[in-house]
Amino acid sequence: MTSFRMRIDNMWNKIRTVQGRLIPIIYRFTIRSILFTGFVLVIALAILTTLLTEWTGDQAMDALNRLITVDNEISDLCLKSNTLMSNARRHEKDFILSYKDFGFNEAKSRYISRVLSNLADMKGNTKKIRLLTDEPEVVRQTLEVDQAVGQYQEKLLVMVEKYGRVGSYDSGLEREFRDTAHEMENLLTTGAGTISSSLTCCRCGAEKKTSSNEAATMMSQSFGKPQPDSRRMWPGPDSPPN
């Protein structure tokens, strides 16, 4: 409490000292000069206040116009980016549906090049958004969009490469599969007679073997039975002599 009162007393002493120095200086001038000086100071303060008010108003208006312009431009860029992404997905589907009809290279140059162009335009839009504003949330979202677009582009190129490996009617693995199937078909067609005749010979041989086995079985059964007595075959007095 004592230190606070001491500070106040020191401050008042300084004010009195300054006042005591200014009063003699003021007394040197006439009343007319003092009034003129005060009037000039009032006018200067009024002009300064007016200029300051106009400057702050212009700054506020510029900030408002910039905010409206930036927001509208950011909205337009976002809408364009959404349209570009939709077009990229549509071109991707067109490539998948038509690469067998147009051929892999033709479909790739027709559709995949458009996909890559759309993705590049999207990255350009996000870069423009970052130049228009420095808000951390907006910058973070645009960076996430760039990362997602990069991952999509990478996966797309991997998929296109695999489709190129699979190929179509006259290229890739599908052509190899078709050529192999045709070779097998030709092999079966040209060798059908040989295979049929060989199977026929095998069947005839098997039938002959079966017939001979049956004949041998019948003969063994017949030899194994007791022979009939010739005397019984001629009974009575007319039977032939022994």
Structure tokens that stand for 162 in this block: 């695999």
pLDDT at 232: 46
Question: Directed axis angle between helix 172-190 and helix 192-224, to 10°?
Answer: 50
Helix (H), strand (E) at residue 220: helix 192-224
Give the HSE-up count for residue 151: Cα atoms under 13 Å, Cβ half-sphere. 6
Sequence ranges of the domains in the chain: 15-166
pLDDT at 12: 79
Q: What is the pLDDT of residue 1?
A: 56
Low-confidence ranges of the chain (pLDDT < 50): 223, 225, 227-234, 237, 239-242
Q: Helices 31-102 and 113-132: crossing angle, nearest 10°?
A: 170
- Residue 86 in contact with residue 106, Cβ under 8 Å? no
pLDDT tens digits, 51-94: 988 888 888 887 777 777 888 888 899 999 999 999 999 999 99
Alpha-carbon distance of 183 to 190, in angstroms, equals: 11
CB atoms near residue 55 (< 10 Å): 10
Q: Which of 114, 130, 128, 112 has its CA nearest to residue 80? A: 128
DSSP 8-class letter at 29: S
Q: Which pLDDT value is given to residue 80?
A: 93
pLDDT attached to residue 112 = 92
Contact assessment for residue 166 and residue 107, using Cβ atoms and an 8 Å cutoff: no
Residue 13: both structure tokens together: 């002493």
What pLDDT is recorded for position 242?
A: 45
Q: Is the dihedral of CA 124, 126, 129, 130 positive or negative?
A: negative
Cα–Cα distance measured from residue 103 to residue 167, given in angstroms and rounded to the nearest whole number: 8
